[in-house]
């Protein structure tokens, strides 16, 4: 199976496998959205099936909810859970301070709500998502459909006075129609190129009428798990100020990998 995976999928998979090791029976776990988070859900499903893991998962999208049910994870709502032990999700970009851009999958609103309702947020990613300064990836903002073009104009006018390089935005589409989030809203992707002051930008965007939430996750991520195609995984814990590395060895005998001894 390992030979069937692309290098990028190997990196995502080992990051997800390492993150899954932090999940224990009895936990309430936020389940992110996107291709990397999907690997995590599959890893947890394997643990449920093969190791007797018993957890309750709070998904951040209908797509994740369906996948979680398919692999045997008990799915509950955030209202039922009330508070979570851990949320594990991917990211579109991250910087050295573990600030993030998220929302490439269109689930940023639920992702942010779930992440902030957790004792800890863990992000799984590959090294290609690391940047010196946020902004190369278009910043998504969720806006209500009513008057979205007016909201778009207000956002672009506001961006002129902020520390960004670009001020244009585009309505995210799904084929020939606007993309619709699970909450029934639209997504505007802001093409900023560079964000000089992410904290200020986040606060200002959320004051614009029509904007529901933005994809900047500031001071939310606690632990970053970075996977590499060669099986190396680096874990950065911003609260402990620690970094650790482990190595997974890929096999060709049907098992995707084993964890190498230190």
Question: Is 36 annotated for ligand binding?
Answer: yes
Question: Is 97 annotated for ligand binding?
Answer: no
The two three-digit tokens of residue 251, written as one number? 């096999």
Question: Is 33 annotated for ligand binding?
Answer: yes
Question: Is 90 annotated for ligand binding?
Answer: yes
Question: Is 103 annotated for ligand binding?
Answer: yes
Question: Is 92 annotated for ligand binding?
Answer: yes
Q: Give CA separation, 38 vs 5, 68, 262, in Å.
A: 15, 9, 28
Question: Is 89 annotated for ligand binding?
Answer: yes
Question: Is 105 annotated for ligand binding?
Answer: yes
**Structural contact between residues 32 and 90, judged by C-beta atoms closer than 8 angstroms:** yes
In the block, tokens 């993030």 appear at 100
Question: Is 35 annotated for ligand binding?
Answer: yes
- The yes-or-no answer on residue 111 being catalytic is yes
Question: Is 147 annotated for ligand binding?
Answer: no
Question: Is 129 annotated for ligand binding?
Answer: yes
Neighbours of 208 (CB within 10 A): 16
Catalytic one of 46, 51, 74, 111:
111
Measured between alpha carbons, how far is 257 from 102 in angstroms, rounded to an integer? 29
Q: Which residue ranges are tagged as binding site for substrate?
A: 33-36, 89-92, 102-105, 129
Residues tagged active-site: 111
Binding residues: 33-36, 89-92, 102-105, 129
């Amino acid at each position: 199976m390992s030979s069937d995976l692309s290098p990028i999928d190997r990196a995502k998979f080992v990051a997800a496998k390492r993150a899954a090791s932090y999940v224990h029976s009895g936990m309430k776990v936020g389940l992110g959205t996107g291709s990397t988070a999907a690997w995590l859900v599959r890893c947890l499903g394997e643990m449920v099936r093969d190791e007797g893991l018993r957890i309750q998962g709070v998904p951040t999208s209908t797509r994740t909810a369906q996948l979680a049910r398919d692999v045997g994870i008990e799915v509950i709502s955030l209202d039922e859970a009330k508070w979570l032990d851990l949320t594990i999700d991917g990211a579109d970009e991250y910087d050295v301070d573990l600030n993030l851009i998220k929302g490439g999958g269109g689930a940023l609103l639920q992702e942010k709500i779930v992440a902030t309702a957790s004792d800890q947020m863990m992000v799984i990613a590959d090294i290609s998502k690391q940047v010196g300064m946020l902004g190369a990836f278009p910043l998504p903002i969720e806006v209500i459909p009513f008057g979205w073009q007016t909201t778009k104009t207000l956002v672009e006018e506001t961006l002129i006075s902020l520390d960004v390089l670009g001020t244009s935005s585009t309505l995210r589409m799904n084929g020939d129609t606007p993309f619709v989030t699970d909450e029934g809203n639209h997504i505007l992707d802001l093409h900023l190129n560079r964000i000089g002051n992410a904290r200020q930008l986040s606060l200002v965007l959320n004051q614009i009428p029509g904007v529901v939430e933005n994809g900047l996750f500031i001071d939310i991520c606690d632990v970053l798990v970075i996977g590499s195609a060669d099986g190396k995984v680096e874990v950065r814990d911003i609260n402990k100020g620690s970094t650790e590395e482990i190595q997974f060895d890929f096999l060709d005998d049907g098992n995707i990998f084993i964890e190498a001894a230190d």
